[in-house]
Amino acid sequence: MTWSKTVDEFLGEWQNGTGWYVYPTKRFKTVTIYAAWIRELEPSARARGALLPHVLRRGTRAWPTRVLMEQQLESLYGASFRADVGKLGDKQLLSFHITVVNGQFLPEHPDTVAAALDFLTEVLDHPQLVDGRFPDEVVDQEKELIKRQISALINDKGQYALSRLIELVADGQRFGLKKLGTPQEIDQVSGDLLVDFLNENRQESPFVFAVVGDVDPDRIQKHMAERWGRGDRRPLTTIQPYTGRHDRNTVVERQDVRQGKLNLAFRTNITAKDPQYPALVMYSGILGGFSHSKLFLNVREKASLAYYAYSRIDPAVALMIIGAGIEFDDYEAARRIIEEQVEAMRAGQFSPEEMAFTLKAYTNDVLSEEDNPGQLIGRQLEQLLIGGGLSGPQLIDALGRVTSAEIVEVAKQVELDTVYFLTSEGDERHGG
Amino acid sequence: MADKTLSWSKIGEEPVREKLDSGLEILVLPKPGLKKTYATYATHYGSIDSHFRRPGTSETIDVPDGIAHFLEHKMYEKPEGHDVFERFAELGAYTNAYTEYTSTTFLFSATSDIDACLDTLVRLVEEPHFTPENVEKEKGIIEQEIRMYLDMPGDRLHSNLLHALYQKNPVRLDIAGSVESIRTITPEDLYVCYETFYHPSNMLFFVAGDVDPEQIIHHIAQLEQGRRLKPSGPIERIFPTEPHGVSEKHVEQVMPVAAPLWMMGYKDQAGLSGRELLRRDVVMGLMWSLLLGPSSRLFNDLYQEGLINERFSAHYSSARSYAMSAIGGETPDPQRLESRLLERLPEEPLLEEHFDRIKRKEIGEFVALFENLEDLAFAFNAYHFRGIDLGWIPDVLEEVTLADVEAARRQHFQEDARAVSVILPHR
């Protein structure tokens, strides 16, 4: 049976700590189902939050081992399932995603959506427990793997430099916390603690459920109401933006690397729900969002200092980040050129053409998101956790109405907060 | 213009294909309802094609390593000083390009002005403009790109493995070349490679989106008519004979990583193309899913022993001139992981029931491929340049038996064709 109404937008609502959102569409061959418990990111519980999805991935009542779960997913024509921890601002998301091919495109037209909903429900509601607790060996194995994942954060130098910068900026504010916790915090988690933690989430944590694909919204709402509609859940709070202030604090660190990573954080004081947000988006796009932008043209194309140079905004915590991968010796030159571009924006030195290119590029980006189920769900989550903001065609309209004066006004508000430079051990020029 | 609809209709896809007088092949896949149109213009020319004879000549040509990738960068520069990035920006389109061992691909992704984007993509690929100054300037940018890869442990792990597996085939060298090799590249080198490999009869145009295939084909055909090109003769790509054995059995590199990264490869005999090559690909893919996929006994034993994490993977990759398996991931104990695998890979039972399930998974993944235009274009182009039609996959999957997989295993695990690459943390 195929649902005939395809509205191509999210239906659903947030009520009593739970939200269900369905995007019925015929654009996709797959159906993507997402569920998450939303928690405050905090040192006391983040390690349990990081572990729980992985432990739930190890077995359910119907499929008690990892092998049996994998076999079930294979039988569902290679359904993909992920259980992991995510982070958005100061929130920790205990996330579960399952994607199945819609049965109408498969031999004998199986109801893969029903099977996927069953699978997800098993994972959330019927974990494999032995004497009321998660088996020690499972918990110990997953603890070890998470600890290794925490140490492995240094492997990706670009990501590492970025996360060091955010840590320095946040300076104690919760959005700077790592979603996985520390190895010491992980060590303290036991199988008993995790069962209590699971029950607490099932009863009290705000819960979001979202589906994208050719599905019947009534069926999804019904599943939600029957399975997860009960309980007295905490109300959802929105993400707290950055409120601190550093005076161009510069930190240099050294590792055995071949390329320096220069990252700058700016305070914007604007989140996605603010009226100035569309002007901020245009500002960052002209400065460094695209290959026609000032940073790419001046740092890469004119000075040949970098392969990449970009700016992007964090719509939740009110920060703008600029990043470039450079030669160690080019630190001063690259920083000077970057700061000159920021200054040029303040002085209103951008043309109608730069504005027009930027608007078109965002139009392309925003519309293209709608071809990707994961991005559609991400956008919905962001709006929920920021507490508003425009998306899709409405965002495009708002960007089109932004004036150059409004961009200059934003430019004057954006202030350099913290600079982080990851350089080589042999680079003696930069004192730490 | 006789068009031909491929037999992909079982899964609701109706691509239209055309071959122009110049030899250029075009495939257009209508995707009603999608907002985005994605187009690639690709040449069957990658980093390993550095030694060749041009059609109709007897002279062999050698060019510096990394030149295919350098050429990809330089195609964006045009005589009037504005580069193609700017033209795409005017149209609000995203553009990019990537170079691999055997192909180079230019692309755009756009939600409006598709005809103008097609014009720009054609111009991007068909109008070279190399000067001593603009070639010199690019060296700094590409050097930074190479240095970025040198800091990526996963990239080094894989590159080092290829270097160890192959004694002669240029697949042992990095796609971007080295900081030293790219310094020697001249405009003349670039023109020679361009004229040899960017000929329409060595290229493929792919477009997918909410478009009218006839109109797209007509549009491209008109642009091509102006060039009055005829199909060129075959390009002779000269590859050294690759000995059976590996170059080095074990290579290690120390990098600032948290735990060791380990990868093991088996060199396979190359030389297949077309349906035979696809069959080999499918058999080997099924073999690795059975032996080491996430539902396998071996994967789960290693996982529970703490030797691997969920990202550990095994896959087979092949081209006309090389083929190999690569198995690896992060591990706390490379020696123990290696000995477990060597002991169990030849012995693990392969079960019929497991085999049927894996085939089902493959069918589902084939259907899902049509949802992601980037992945689809990538797969379509890669198969095409190996003489394979993507649409053959379901039939070949159907044909392959468990006995084929067992036979492939018996033949694949040869000790002298095996090498290991390890990235170790600092002490």
**Quick check: helix, strand or coil at residue B284?**
helix
* Cα gap A375→A365, rounded to integer Å: 11
How do the pLDDT tens digits run along chain B, 427 residues long?
Answer: 333 334 577 788 999 999 999 999 999 999 999 999 999 999 999 999 999 999 888 899 999 999 999 999 999 999 877 678 889 999 999 999 999 999 999 999 999 999 999 999 999 999 999 999 999 999 999 999 999 999 999 999 999 999 999 999 999 999 999 999 999 999 999 999 999 999 999 999 999 999 999 999 999 999 999 888 898 888 999 999 999 999 999 999 999 999 999 999 999 999 999 999 999 999 999 999 999 999 999 999 999 999 999 999 999 999 999 999 999 999 999 999 999 999 999 999 999 999 999 999 999 999 999 999 999 999 999 999 999 999 999 999 999 999 999 999 999 999 999 999 999 999 7
The tokens for B291 are: 């032996």
Q: What is the ipTM of this complex?
A: 0.92
Considering only CA atoms, which of A122, A119, A127 is closest in space to residue A56? Answer: A127
Tell me, what's the pLDDT at A245? Answer: 95
For A111-164, what is each residue's pLDDT tens digit? 999 999 999 999 999 999 999 999 999 999 999 999 999 999 999 999 999 999
CATH of domain B250-424: 3.30.830.10
Question: Cβ A67–B300 below 8 Å, yes or no?
Answer: yes
Asked if the domains A11-228 and A249-424 are classified in one and the same CATH topology, the answer is yes
Per DSSP, A240 falls in state P
Q: Is A22 a residue whose pLDDT tops 90? A: yes
CATH of domain A11-228: 3.30.830.10
Task: Give mean pLDDT, residues A393-408.
Answer: 97
CA trace torsion B213, B219, B223, B228 (10° rounding):
70
Residues within 8 A of B (CB atoms), A 36-55 only: none
Please state whether beta strands B203-209 and B25-30 pair in parallel, antiparallel, or not at all (unpaired).
parallel
**In this complex, is the C-beta atom of A141 within 8 Å of any C-beta atom belonging to chain B?**
yes
Average pLDDT, chain A: 94
Handedness of CA A165, A167, A168, A173 (dihedral sign): positive
* Cα gap B154→B170, rounded to integer Å: 20
Listed by start position, the domains of chain B span 4-237, 250-424
Listed by start position, the domains of chain A span 11-228, 249-424
Q: Which residue of A has its CA nearest to B210?
A: A27
Task: Give mean pLDDT, residues A230-245.
Answer: 91
Asked if the domains B4-237 and B250-424 are classified in one and the same CATH topology, the answer is yes
Class of the domain covering B4-237: alpha beta
Question: Cβ A105–B86 below 8 Å, yes or no?
Answer: no
Burial of B228 (0-12, 13-18, 19+ CB in 10 A): exposed
**Quick check: helix, strand or coil at residue B301?**
helix
Residue of B36, B147, B255 with shortest CB distance to A371 = B36
**In this complex, is the C-beta atom of A7 within 8 Å of any C-beta atom belonging to chain B?**
no
Per DSSP, B77 falls in state -
For A278-294, what is each residue's pLDDT tens digit? 999 999 999 999 999 99
Question: Cβ B141–A363 below 8 Å, yes or no?
Answer: no
Please state whether beta strands A207-213 and A30-40 pair in parallel, antiparallel, or not at all (unpaired).
antiparallel
**Partners of A208 in beta bridges:** A19, A36
Tell me, what's the pLDDT at A429? Answer: 63
Active site annotation includes B77: no
**In this complex, is the C-beta atom of B137 within 8 Å of any C-beta atom belonging to chain A?**
yes
Tell me, what's the pLDDT at A4? Answer: 45
Question: Cβ A257–B256 below 8 Å, yes or no?
Answer: yes
For A109-125, what is each residue's pLDDT tens digit? 999 999 999 999 999 99
Task: Give mean pLDDT, residues A176-185.
Answer: 97
Class of the domain covering A249-424: alpha beta
A chain contacts of residue B142, beta-carbon cutoff 8 Å: 307
Task: Give mean pLDDT, residues A7-25.
Answer: 91
Question: Cβ B295–A67 below 8 Å, yes or no?
Answer: yes
Q: Which residue of B has its CA nearest to A137?
A: B304
- Check if the beta carbon of residue A388 is closer than 8 Å to that of residue A225: no
